[in-house]
Amino acid sequence: MLVIEISSDGGWPLTLTELNKYNIPAPPNGFNSEINNAVVMKFEDEQEAIDYAHDLDEFAEALTERELSKYPDIRDIIAEIIKSISDDEFVQAYIQS
């Protein structure tokens, strides 16, 4: 099991409530909230995390103007989630192997 915390030191300190508000697709094992209100994602392995990041990127690219006008920050939030995955040390090691 791979657990990745969404970076809270980036531009978007996210909460589980905020993620639900934006209707951002959850990873296969969902989003969870930790005791310190950090949001974590759980994956079976690094490949599942990478696949989710790719799916999320495609979701962001497919957003309509209507959705973007309703949630103007959604692409930035998605970028933070993807960055959290790509910056994970286990994902990095997996990519380099």
Sequence-distant (6+) residues with CB within 8 A of 46 are: 2, 90, 91, 93, 94, 95
Average pLDDT, the chain: 90
pTM of structure:
0.89
Number of neighbouring beta carbons within 10 Å of residue 58: 10
Note the pLDDT tens digit of each residue in 20-63: 888 899 999 999 987 677 899 999 999 999 999 999 999 999 99
pLDDT at 63: 94
User: Cα separation of 76 and 91, whole Å?
Assistant: 21
Q: Domain coordinates of the chain in residue numbers?
A: 2-96
pLDDT at 35: 66
